[in-house]
Every structure is written in C-alpha cells, then in structure tokens.
Amino acid sequence: MRPFTYERATDARAAVAAGRRAGAKFISGGTNLLDLMKLDVERPSHLVDISRLPLRDIEELSDGGLRIGAQAANSDTAADARVRNRYPVLSEALVSGASGQLRNKASVGGNLVQRTRCPYFSDTAAGCNKRDPGSGCSAIGGFNRMHAILGASEACIATHPSDMAVAMTVLDARIELLDAAHSLRRVDITDFYRLPGETPHRETVLRPGEMITGVVLPPPPPGRQRYRKVRDRASYEFALVSVAAVAAVEEGTIRAARVAFGGVAPKPWRSVEAEAALTGRPATMATYRAAAEAAMRHAVGQGCNDFKIELAKRTLCRTLAQVARAS
Amino acid sequence: MIGQALDRVDGPFKVTGRATYAYEHWEAGQPLYGSVVGATIGRGRIARIDTHRAGRSPGVHRVLTSHDLPAQGTPDPSLPFEFWRAHPVMSGPDVDHYGEAVALVVAATVEQARAAADLVDVEYTVEPGSFDFAAGLEQAYVPAGPIYGIVPVATAVGDFEAGFGSSPVTIDERYTTPYELSQPMEPHACLAVPDGEDLIVYVSTQIVDAARASMASTLRMDPERIHVVAPYVGGGFGSKLRIHAEAILAAFAARALRRPVKIALTRQQIFQLTGVRPTSDQRVRLGAQRDGRLVAIAHEATMATNRHWEYIEPTAATTRSLYAAPNRLTSHRLMPLDVLRGEDVRAPGEAPGLLAVESAMDELAVELGMDPVELRIRNEPSVDPERGVPFSERRLVGCLREGARRFGWERRVATPASVRDGQWLIGHGMAAGIRGHFQAPTTARVRLAADGRAVVETDMTDIGTGTYTILTQVAADGLGLAPDRVRVELGRSEYPVGAGSGGSWGAANSSTAVHRACLALREKLVATACADTRSVLHGSDPARATFADGRVSIEGVSEALSEIVARNHPNGVEADGATVAMTDDPNYRDYSIHSYGAHFVEVAVDADTAEIRLRRMLGVFSAGRALNSRTARSQLIGGMIWGAGAALEEEAVVDARSGAFVTRDLANYLVPVHADIPEIDAVVLDGYDGKANVLGAKGLGELGICGAGAAVANAVFNATGVRVRDFPITLEKVMPGLPPLVS
Ligand SMILES: Cc1cc2nc3c(=O)[nH]c(=O)nc-3n(C[C@H](O)[C@H](O)[C@H](O)COP(=O)(O)OP(=O)(O)OC[C@H]3O[C@@H](n4cnc5c(N)ncnc54)[C@H](O)[C@@H]3O)c2cc1C
Ligand code: SF4
C-alpha cells in the first residue's frame, strides 16, 4: 500500500473541492477501494472521506418516486419499507449481494462505481487495459468464465459486478451528480456507464472531482418485479447471470415489460430488444423464448463463458414466467 | 472421561483473544516486518534484480535477494517424509514456478515493507514453461516411489486385463479433479527472534519437530539452537506440515539484522508459496458379474508435479483395500510441469481418489440396475484384498446399513431425473469412504506436582482440532483426576518430540503416548507408596491399585496422590510415554488398519439453471473409539463440508500462458459458505480398534471428506441423469443435459 493523505469532508461542497486535487479519490464504505489499494491496483495519494456526509436519507418525492442518498447503506436501502413495497426488485438485488457485514458498510454511491471482479484486473503482474491502458487484456484467451458476452470490446471483456445497479437500470433510475463548480446534474443510469471501447479505464461519465449525491427512482413501473441471481454458490458470490424483470400482464397479454441483465456485460444491461419482443405479446413460454433470443442475438462467448448465453436465456424465461404468473 | 463431549479447554482463550498465534507474539518486542517479492514468470531466470529504489523507500531496513543469503542445505531424500528435509528458498537465479520468492523486503512497518516490495525491479529471461496438464498427458512418467517412503507406486493382483475382458458388465471411465489448496484461516506466518547464537521461531506449523529439522538443515544450524514455538495454529490441512518461504526468510533476515523479523504470507501468496494438491486424470475400470460381484478393478492416476520437486499424491492407493476383486491393478504417473509444488492437502489420495472410484461404483450400480448400497455390501472383502492380511476393525457394512436406515435410503427413487419439487430436480446419492490409519513415533511427558495437579508436555500441535482437550481427557482418565486438575502444554520444541498433526495420526499418536506416560507414572507412585512406611498403603499389593478422584486405592485403603507426591517428590514426579513407528509395530504389518464412512446426500438442482443446492448430508463413520464425541463430530462435519466443496466449487485455475493461478483469493477460489450447507449430521459408531493402539482410537480428521464429494456427485446424477466426471460440478457442466424449458 502506498502512502496517502486523508481528510474527512464536512459538507458536499468541500468534498467536491477536495476531490479535484490530483490523485484524490472519494472513500465511502471502503469495501472495494481499500482492497484494491492494498493490491496496488488503486493508487490514490489523497482520500476524501465522504462517508459522514448527510447523504444517508431516503426521501419521498412528490411524483411518487424516491430519492436515495449516496451514503445510504446497502442494508438500510434494502430494508426500507418503501423500497421493499414499491421497488422489490431493488431490495432483492441488494440483499443478493455480498454479505450482511459488507452491506452494512457499503454505500449506494460506492456500489454504483465499484470496479470489476476480473481477476487479472486485481493482479498487477498481469496485462490489463482497464488498470494499465495499453498493456493488453489478459482475460481474452485466458480464464474468462466470469466475463462479458455483450457490450465487450477487443480492449476489455470485464463485467460490471453490481447487482443493485441492475435493478436500478430496470427502474430507469437517474444518478444525481455534484461537480466542483457546484453544479448538480442528473444522468440516466444507462448513460452513466460507458462501454469499454478503446478506453476501458473510463467506466462512467463522472468528471474529475464529481461526486454522486443520490439516486432518483421514478414512480414504480406497472407490473410485478423480480430479481433473479444465478451464481456458483448459495450466497456471498457475484452473479454469473442475473435478471431484473418487470412485467404487467392483463388477460394473458403482456402490456408492459422491462428487462435488465447483470453479470453479462461491462455495465448493467438493459435489453430493449427483449422488451420489444414481449410488449403486446401473449404471456407464454414461446414469447419469453423469443425475447431471450432477441436479448442474446449479439452475444458472443469468450471460451470459458460460452455457457452464459444459454444460461441468460433460461434465466430470463423463468423469471418472466414467474413475474407474469404473479401479476 | 475418554469419549465424553468435554468442552474445549482452550475455548475461553480463543474467544477472548488470549490464544497467541505465530504472528502475535510480543515477548521479543517490536519486530521488523518482511514482505516477500514473488516471481512474475512461470519458468526462467532472473537476469537482473535492482533493489535500489526499494532499499531507499521509507522505513526499509534491508532488501535480501539470493545474493545476500548464505549457502543453504539441500533436501536429504533419505528422510521418508519431506517435511523434515531442507527447504531452500531464493537460492539462485532460477525460477521454477510462478510466484516463487525472489526478494525479501524488511521494513519498520508492514505497509512500508509491502510498498517497497512493489519497487523491487526484476528482469527475467523467460523460458517456455509447461503449464497445461491436459495438453501433454502422454509425457507422464512412472515415478520410482515409494510414496512417503512406504506406499508402493503400483500394485497388481491376479490378471486384471483377463478379468476385465471376461466380465459381463464393465465400466471404463476417466475422471478429472482440479488443483486445490488448503487455505487455512490463519495465513502461513513466522516471527524469528535471534537470541545469541540461538534462534527462537514462532511459526504456524503442524509438526514442530519437522519445522525445527527443516529450518536447521536449510540454515545449516545445529537443531539444538533452534527453538520452535507453536502453541496455537489456525488450521493447516496439510499446508503447514512443512515450513515455507515465510519461515526460512524470516530466519535469515532475523539473523542478518540481529532483530526480530516477522512475515505473514498474503492470501494471494498462499496460492503461490505453499503447496497444491495436484490436478489429476484418473481412469477407473470395473468389471463385474451380473450379480454385482467385482471380477476386476483398476485405478490408474496421472497427476501433475513440479518438475524439480516430485510429489506423488497416493490417489490410486485409495482403492487398494476398498472392495474385494480377484484381479486388480493400481498405478500412479506424473506429468512434469512448471507449476507450484505438490503437497499434501487434507485427505491426500482419498479426496480425489474416492471422487473417481465411488463415482464409478455408482455408474456400475446404474449399469447393473442394482441398489448402490447393496453393490458395495456385495463386494465387502473378508481380508485385505491386496495384502491378504486380516482387517483390524472393519465396519464399512455397518456404516452403510446404519446410514441407509437413518437417511431413509429405501425411499429413494432409483430412476434419474424423476423426482421434482416445483422448480427443483431432487436427487439422492451415496458413497463409501475409507482412509488408512497411520502411526508415527511420538513421546509425551506427564508430571504430577505436589499439589496434585498434572501437566502434560509434548511438542504435538493443536491446529484447531482439539488436541488440548483430548489430551486433558486422556491424562485425567489415566491418573484418575478431574480434568480441571490437568494442564496440557503443546507446541514447543523443548517438549518431548512427536510427529505432530498430520495424516490424521496426531490424536492417536499423542493420546497413546500420554496414556503410557500416565501408566508409567502410576507405577512409580504406587511403588513409592507401597514401599513407604509413612503411607497407609505401605505393604499393599501394587498390582491391585486403582486411581480415581485424585486418590489411589488398594483394597479399600486409599491415599491422595498429592500426599504421595508431597512426601516423596516435593518437586513433582514425572514419567514419559511413547508410540513407535508403524513400521516397528507388528500390528501394522499383520493387519490392515483403516477407518470407514458411508455418506448419504440429497441435492436439489434448478431445472433451468442447473444450480446445485444441497438439502441433506449424513455421514456414518467408524474410526475405533472417539476420544471426544464433540471434537470428533466437528472434524467429521468439517470434512464432509470440504467434500461438498470439492464436488461443487473448489478449483484453482492455472493460466496456461503464464503458469500463475488466476483464482488466487477467496473471492475467486470458492469454498462453501454457510448458506451452501444444509442439515448435516455425522454419526460415529461406537468402536474400539485394539490393533491400532491401546486406546483403540483411529484418526478421523480427514475421514469426513472421504467419499463425501462422490455422494454429492451421485446425487446430482440421480437428480438430473447427467453424469459429470470433471470436478468440480459447476452448472455449465450440467445445464446442457437438462430438459428444455417448456412452461
Ligand atoms: C467479498 C465481497 C463480495 C461482494 N459481493 C457483491 C455482490 O455479490 N454483489 C454486488 O453488487 N456487490 C458485491 N460486492 C461489492 C460491494 O457491493 C461494493 O464493494 C460496495 O457496494 C462498494 O461500496 P463502498 O461504499 O464500500 O465503496 P468504496 O469502496 O468506498 O468506493 C468504491 C469506489 O467508489 C467511489 N465512490 C464511492 N462513493 C462515491 C460517490 N458518492 N461518488 C463518486 N464516487 C464514489 C470510490 O472513490 C471508489 O472508487 C462485494 C464486495 C466484497 C468485498
Ligand atoms: S477484461 Fe478488462 S479488466 Fe480484465 S484483463 Fe481484460 S482489460 Fe483488464
């Protein structure tokens, strides 16, 4: 671990001012950042501790939505009665992640920008374009069982590991950002994340010093919601594939549907193709299968992860069948 | 007293933080911290190593490379167990496997040491290495053996090919198992403290005597000058049978700097600097009559080994005493690679071997249309099928029957993929387990003080297994004392020497030695009392003495032990006891001595995603007499969970391009978590194996694993009809065999 200086931000404005310092990084729960610092993957020279900023509240919005403060703990967010009742997909996604201890410590803001779990990324001896631009991608042609089947590039095939962000994506969440000039902007979660392209080290649209202050959830979409996470063990493990699905079914016909995948792409993967193949169609397995095919039309395996394509299709079909039956 | 569920006597120390582990000793004051720099190539040479930047980094006291170390001893192959041999590290420019130590940074704080370690600049001449086990199996060779100096590499009885060729029903399959590592909770750690010409070594080790011998011969020191201290060890599972770079380098650095130096491996380094269970490719052939009786059985194992450090896991030896069959064959071959050294990992041999052979037996049962429990009972041998000698205490059939009864096995539906519970496909599987019992020379001393309290001393370790507790029970039983009058002192090289914890032999070895020491002490005490005119026992017959409640009684007359000691031995009185090597014990020549188990498992497999979740696990075991029913059960349950992990999750993946383990932390190298483990029970049959030792106890630290994984695999087959022979059984191997989604 390299030496670094540390300051505790007293308010949001001071935080973003401090965040502009060269080599500065925000630290919230530290559950991701500190691990990566010990491994010499993250090398900040200055830490701005934002964990005590008054951004922990979950507020009711006048349009029926919710605003979740960036410092709300993952566990508190999952347990919030309004989240559980109106956004069960989000609550389910949160509790499927990490462990009780980690969820108590982890913040909503930190969860959104946590780094990939690609094992080569955390091994400074391996080439990795995300960690060290231009050094190559060791996962291509290597052990890539956890890696992406959609949205990857020749430079990087890593997945985004968050469960929470997948649920937020299906809920059309908007990320609230404060920059050093003290201007506040809101970005759709799908626009918040970038695809790797040639620059996999640039993962989001966050500008230097810009801080996430909260997440705005619009009023819940019509229909039933569900988060289904498929993984190698029953708990405490990242998704091989996950599905966040919302569907409203009336008299056997799907009136509205939303689908997002986790564990398959460099960002939470909203599938407009699947949604188009579902809307207005009968709520049958044939429809779900067609939606799954549409969602995975451009999917490519990397060798060890080829199975994810079929797994994603199967997981989507079953999850849709469950939300449709329930609604 | 022996066998009772006495609470762990060291429990209060552990839960209050008073049990001191290797890295935590402070008697010697502020130490320096070492950080090991590992090679980032799999094979080649160090062309240039530049330590200037690291050396000038804040807090750094010294950077050591091979140039700075004195000549080291080399391993003496005449020592049967490699744990006692020298373990030279950083001894030259050659790199034999990825992650091998190339430099050590010693600094004032651990953070400074690690920061500076990143600044050591190494240039390598890379040589093409062989890292791909499956790619070159034809290059495998037959090692000379014997394994551990005693186990033959290959055996043959009858005419296997003829027997197999003429069998009406045959199975001929290949099974593969991955690299696995022990990964104990406590990392491998050492604090080395120079003390004049002596060296005090606080080290996390399973065998104190081996640590001392290995360190002495590597450092070319007189073993008497090395003092090993290891009172508490946070798990070993084979990976601490021998010491590694952390101990050798801490010792060199401490001697060079004349300061205490401590090193703990990081979790990632444990994947590179300890030892690995080799990956295996096993061919199992079974030939049977239609009534299920085996005519021929062959188990041929090919395994990886580091090309410079040969290690043979006795994988195929597993089958040698398991089932009757007139025609038999077992063999081991090694595939030389440039990967981490092979070492024993919990249940070496049986763990991978039973995955293969007990899967094959299940396949045979399916082929025959026979109940798999019945198939095993039908092949129960009356004498050891290879050695021809009788079994000491063989109760495999008892385990199978009792397990089947408790589990409700008769309700199992034999047809695969025919039981459903909503989304889940339900399956039941079983497997048998066997594990050799070993004995090694061990000594212990028991001293009785004038206040009537006893102290047991031996260099045996407690690696979390419960040694403190069982030796308390054995000594209390042996001297007729309450357990709170006994104190057990372990894990110091000053104490009587033993063979430590390993191969599940520690409990039986050390208990037998303590028991014998107690008998010797009793004799001394009785002889003293009967000859002492001041004693009420004067003139009584020593042969009729009994010991209970801190008193010795002869025909109704009794005297407190404390009085005898106080009167005759004001400074206390002591006696030693010992066990001998199994090669010097005729029982181990004249009998086949093993412990046994039978496993029954229920799994649920998601019909769409093939996620496998355990629902029930039951193991029934026979291991002679259990010394403490609770610690025995803990060991067995831990073993069963290990077996479940081996079946479903554990796999260290080597990147065939670099030779590095890609899965090098516990986020990527999966072991079971609580949520994976269902209702689980371990039952130990009451028993006594008088051929094993006078207490009738056999090892069970590894027994729980043996067969557990195969029972899981067989249950997965029963649930889905998909037979996976490539372990671990991850969902992508099962999913293609599942039915398509219909509704
Ligand atoms: C063992 C383990 C298992 C896990 N399993 C899962 C899982 O199954 N599913 C899952 O989704 N996650 C999982 N996680 C990840 C976990 O969810 C994240 O580590 C956590 O959410 C990060 O939050 P934090 O507050 O601790 O972030 P930190 O570690 O403090 O920060 C992470 C990053 O976010 C930046 N950051 C933090 N807050 C802000 C902000 N307000 N604005 C801008 N940037 C910010 C930091 O600078 C840093 O780069 C696991 C983690 C561990 C260690
Ligand atoms: S997939 Fe991305 S993160 Fe992983 S090695 Fe390649 S570039 Fe690095």
pLDDT tens, B278-287? 999 999 999 9
Is the pLDDT reported for residue B516 higher than 70? yes
Strands B198-203, B294-306: parallel, antiparallel or unpaired by DSSP?
unpaired
Q: What are phi and psi of B196, to 5 degrees?
A: 65, -130
Distance of CA B578 to the CA centre of its chain: 22
Chain A residues within 8 A of B613 when measuring between CB atoms: 234
Asked if residue A114 lies in contact with residue A161, where contact means CB atoms within 8 angstroms, the answer is: yes
Is the pLDDT reported for residue B743 higher than 80? no
- For residue B260, what pLDDT is reported? 98
The model's confidence at residue B627, banded by pLDDT at 50, 70 and 90, is very high
Q: What is the average pLDDT score of chain A?
A: 97
Asked if residue A203 lies in contact with residue A194, where contact means CB atoms within 8 angstroms, the answer is: yes
Question: Phi-psi category of B705—alpha, beta or left, where left has phi over 0 and alpha has psi -120 to 50?
Answer: alpha
For chain A, which residues lie within 8 Å of any Cβ of chain B, measuring from their own Cβ?
1-3, 38-40, 117, 119-120, 122-126, 138, 141-143, 230-238, 240, 285, 288-289, 307, 310-311, 314-315, 317-318, 321
Name A128's bridge partners. Answer: A137
Instruction: Give the integer Cα–Cα distance in Å for B100 and B272.
Output: 7
Instruction: Give the integer Cα–Cα distance in Å for B455 and B434.
Output: 36
In this complex, do B660 and A123 lie within 8 Å of one another by their Cβ atoms?
yes
Of residues A232, A285, A289, nearest to B670 (C-beta): A232
With tokens 């056997």, the residue in question is A252
Is the pLDDT reported for residue B83 higher than 70? yes
Q: Which ligand is nearest to the CA of A161?
A: 1
Q: Angle CA(B413)–CA(B416)–CA(B417) in degrees, nearest 5?
A: 105
pLDDT tens, A68-82? 999 999 999 999 999
- For residue B109, what pLDDT is reported? 97
Instruction: Give the integer Cα–Cα distance in Å for B199 and B194.
Output: 5
How far, CA to CA in Å, does B43 sit from each of A125, A139, B271?
Answer: 15, 21, 17
Instruction: Give the integer Cα–Cα distance in Å for B410 and B207.
Output: 45
Percentage with pLDDT > 90 across chain B: 98
Q: What is the CA radius of gyration of chain A?
A: 19
Residues with CB under 6 A from ligand 2: A 116, 118, 120-121, 128-130, 137-139, 156-158, 200
The model's confidence at residue A2, banded by pLDDT at 50, 70 and 90, is confident
Burial B540-560 (b: 16+ CB within 10 A, else e): bebeebebeebbbbbeeebbe
Q: What is the average pLDDT score of chain B?
A: 97
Of residues A1, A123, A315, nearest to B111 (C-beta): A1
Asked if residue B339 lies in contact with residue B654, where contact means CB atoms within 8 angstroms, the answer is: yes
What token pair was written down for B458? 């031996």
B186: Cβ contacts below 8 Å, ≥ 6 apart: B21, B22, B204, B233, B234, B235
Mean pLDDT to the nearest integer, B128-137: 94
Instruction: Give the integer Cα–Cα distance in Å for A52 and A26.
Output: 12
pLDDT tens, B44-80? 999 999 999 999 999 999 999 999 999 999 999 999 8
Asked if residue B377 lies in contact with residue B454, where contact means CB atoms within 8 angstroms, the answer is: no
Is the pLDDT reported for residue A327 higher than 70? no
Nearest to B267 by CA among B371, B169, B334, B187: B187
Is the pLDDT reported for residue B123 higher than 80? yes
Instruction: Give the integer Cα–Cα distance in Å for A133 and A38.
Output: 20
Asked if residue A277 lies in contact with residue A196, where contact means CB atoms within 8 angstroms, the answer is: no
| Virtual torsion, Cα A19, A25, A29, A32, nearest 10 deg | 160
Sheet with A211-217: list strands edge to edge: A58-60, A66-69, A211-217, A174-178, A184-188
How far, CA to CA in Å, does B692 sit from each of A309, B505, B520, B688?
Answer: 55, 11, 20, 9
Distance of CA A168 to the CA centre of its chain: 8
* Prediction ipTM score: 0.97
Nearest to B100 by CA among B275, B337, B238: B275
Mean pLDDT to the nearest integer, A57-69: 98
Q: What is the DSSP letter of B344?
A: -
Distance from CA of A187 to the nearest CA of B (A): 32
Of residues A138, A307, A314, nearest to B741 (C-beta): A314
- For residue B347, what pLDDT is reported? 98
With tokens 């008054």, the residue in question is A54
- For residue B740, what pLDDT is reported? 87
A6: exposed, middle or buried (C-beta count within 10 Å: 0-12, 13-18, 19+)?
A: exposed
Instruction: Give the integer Cα–Cα distance in Å for B62 and B49.
Output: 15
Nearest CA to ligand 1 atom 51: A98
Task: Give the number of other CB atoms < 10 A from CB of residue B679.
Answer: 10
SS in 3 state form for B670-727? CCCCHHHCCEEEEEECCCCCCCCCCCCECCCCCHHHCCHHHHHHHHHHHHHCCCCCEC
pLDDT tens, B549-588? 999 999 999 999 999 999 999 999 999 999 999 999 999 9
Is the pLDDT reported for residue A1 higher than 90? no
Name A177's bridge partners. Answer: A185, A212
Nearest to B689 by CA among B486, B497, B501, B511: B511
Instruction: Give the integer Cα–Cα distance in Å for B733 and B726.
Output: 8
Chain A residues within 8 A of B742 when measuring between CB atoms: 285
Strands B327-337, B546-548: parallel, antiparallel or unpaired by DSSP?
unpaired
Instruction: Give the integer Cα–Cα distance in Å for B600 and B401.
Output: 11
B369: exposed, middle or buried (C-beta count within 10 Å: 0-12, 13-18, 19+)?
A: exposed
pLDDT tens, B217-262? 999 999 999 999 999 999 999 999 999 999 999 999 999 999 999 9
SS in 3 state form for B165-209? HCCCEEEEEEEEECEECCCCCCCCEEEEEEECCEEEEEECCCCHH
Nearest to B93 by CA among B84, B83, B85, B103: B103
Query: Which chain B residue's Cα is nearest to A320?
Result: B743
Nearest CA to ligand 2 atom 3: A121
Distance from CA of B676 to the nearest CA of A (A): 5
- Check B100, B386, B702, B732 and give the catalytic one: B702
Known active-site residue B702: yes
In this complex, do A317 and B114 lie within 8 Å of one another by their Cβ atoms?
no
- For residue B741, what pLDDT is reported? 81
**Distance between Cα A52 and ligand 1 center (Å):** 16
pLDDT tens, A232-244? 999 999 999 999 9
Q: What are phi and psi of A77, to 5 degrees?
A: -65, -45
Domains of chain B, earliest start first: 11-128+182-273 (3.30.365.10), 131-181+275-382 (3.30.365.10), 391-433+591-743 (3.30.365.10), 442-579 (3.30.365.10)
**Distance between Cα A38 and ligand 2 center (Å):** 19
pLDDT tens, A148-167? 999 999 999 999 999 999 99
